[in-house]
Amino acid sequence: STAPSPIVSSRSIMYLLPALLLLPIFTLAQIAEENDHPLFDVLELWEHSPEVLAEMIRSSPIASIVDIPATNTTNYKLARVQKKNGNAANVLPFVFAHGMGDSCFNPGMKRITTDAGKHAGVYSTCIPTGDSQPADTIHGFFMTMNKNVEVFAEKVRANPKLAKGFNAFGFSQGNSVLRGYIQKYNDPPVNVVVHVHGTVSGVAGFPQCDPSKNIICKAIASACGDAAYNAVTQNMLFQVDYFRDPTRVQSQAYKKYSELADWNNEGLTSNATYTENFGKTNKFVMVKAMEDTMVFPNEGEWWGHFEDGARKKVLTMKETEWYTKDLFGLKTADEAGKIAFESTPGNHLQFSEQDLFGWIDKYIVN
């Protein structure tokens, strides 16, 4: 049958997430009365034309797509690791996790996964959380953070080439998947993880809309916070699960419902397994985009965040409560020399293969 024509434009996807976040504010009856409500359009596309919806997501302004030029690897000697055979870490395979709106099946992710493996002379793979390009893309929105981690772990464990462990690379939202895998599973273990422009600390604003500098963006962020912390939204949208509103982190709703609060051990209970598993990884390489307009605050890419209570003062890693109280093992890892910081000068996911190869050579093939 012929797929229905898309009703929602690709640019309108930029405004879709706040609508979804605000869903619990409206009653189902109110929405049902609006036959042309955009949520129905999206749900219809998801059910009947997932390829169309995936393309809209991929081409939207909030998508984090890796599509950097390939590096000429002709002059690189394969398997520098062969010179360092005494270090088992150097021969572990590579695993990649893609960003929001991207997919392991997209050309950019395929190329960078292959090129990185060739550079180091190791097996390299990207782990999708969907079995097709549309499913993998859509799951980056309409499947929860915990479920994405669960599927990722299942696929890792099903791959015999990863049985002895691996080095991991995350781009944007993919870093939340890697963080979740490390804290919840880490078996097979992650040796070195390179978090490129990651959402590891959560976000407190909407992409391309800095809540600390713009009153409209602040209002949107506040509205997102109003709707984020309940059983409905936490089971609806990946991005809600790592939304950390600094004005609500002391609320019972945040502590009870937020998946990120659970990971941070700042919820109603503390999980010692998260701390134990975090300690099994030997190196965390945190790469911050200095002009990032997707992750707010971008200090979160270095384990920082807004100070609790407002979207004003930004705390560095060592000033956060999760560091000072060592809630999930970050301080312990730092004191053991396991945390490294890198940066790139531009915006979100503006880096080169040469940058990536440099991090590989510095922290893995050393």
Residues serving a catalytic function are: 172, 292, 348
User: What's the sign of the alpha-carbon dihedral 102, 108, 114, 119?
Assistant: negative
Q: Please give the radius of gyration of the chain, using alpha carbons only, rounded to the nearest integer.
A: 20
Task: Tell me the one-letter amino acid at 53.
Answer: L
Q: Are 90 and 365 in contact (CB under 8 A)?
A: yes
Q: Are 124 and 114 in contact (CB under 8 A)?
A: yes
Rounded Cα–Cα distance for residues 144 and 126 (Å): 19
- Cβ burial of 44 (10 Å; 0-12, 13-18, 19+) is middle
Rounded Cα–Cα distance for residues 25 and 18 (Å): 11
Rounded Cα–Cα distance for residues 279 and 302 (Å): 18
Q: What are 297's two structure tokens?
A: 């605050």
Rounded Cα–Cα distance for residues 55 and 45 (Å): 11
Query: Cα 233 from chain centroid?
Result: 18
Q: What are 357's two structure tokens?
A: 């190869």
Rounded Cα–Cα distance for residues 307 and 320 (Å): 8
Phi and psi at residue 113, to the nearest 5°:
-65, -45
